[in-house]
Amino acid sequence: MSDTQTAASDAHEVTIFHNPSCSHSRGALGILNERSVAYGVIEYLNTPPSRETLEMIISKLVNPVPELVRTADKRFVDLGLDPNGYQSAEEVVELLLVHPELMQRPIVIKGARAVIARPSERVAEVLS
């Protein structure tokens, strides 16, 4: 992880990979605030995740690995990418290293579990 990402992860019990322009991401933050959960925020478009960070997320991910890629995103389509080309952890990591904007959001991590909080209420899955 980058120094910024490590600091956010180490300082809080919960870490959220966040995009402020995403309503699901803002909704997950709202739920964390409502529950008075201490959390660290990583705005992954400003601080793209490293290979190590992506591998850590995947190792903890409750969702199937291919769901980490925003295949329905206009950018994905504009790049002419094949949704079936990103099924393995390595394929997903390689894509997101080059195109971090295609990472699904928000990703909420607590301990050994990570969830793509879409819908936002899925954040509860890692809080319990």
Mean pLDDT of all residues belonging to the chain: 91
* pLDDT at 34 > cutoff 50: yes
Q: For residue 21, which phi and psi values (nearest 5 degrees)?
A: -85, -5
Is residue 11 very low, low, confident or very high in pLDDT (cuts 50, 70, 90)?
low
pLDDT computed for residue 17 by the predictor: 97
Place of tokens 């605030």: 33
Query: For residue range 85-103, what is the model confidence (pLDDT) as tens digits?
Result: 999 999 999 999 999 999 9
CB of 52 closer than 8 Å to CB of 1:
yes
CB of 22 closer than 8 Å to CB of 29:
no
CATH number for the domain whose boundaries are 3-64+103-127: 3.40.30.10
**CA gap 116, 66 in Å, rounded:** 11
Percent of the chain with pLDDT over 90: 89
- Known active-site residue 22: yes
Q: Which one of 2, 9, 12, 22 is the catalytic residue?
A: 22
Q: pTM to 2 decimals?
A: 0.88
Q: Which of 2-6, 18-22, 67-71 has the lowest mean pLDDT?
A: 2-6
Q: Which residues of 59-93 are buried (b: 16+ CB within 10 A; e: fewer)?
A: ebbebebbebbbbebeebeeeebeeeebeebeebb
Query: For residue range 40-74, what is the model confidence (pLDDT) as tens digits?
Result: 999 999 999 999 999 999 999 999 999 999 999 99
CB of 86 closer than 8 Å to CB of 92:
yes
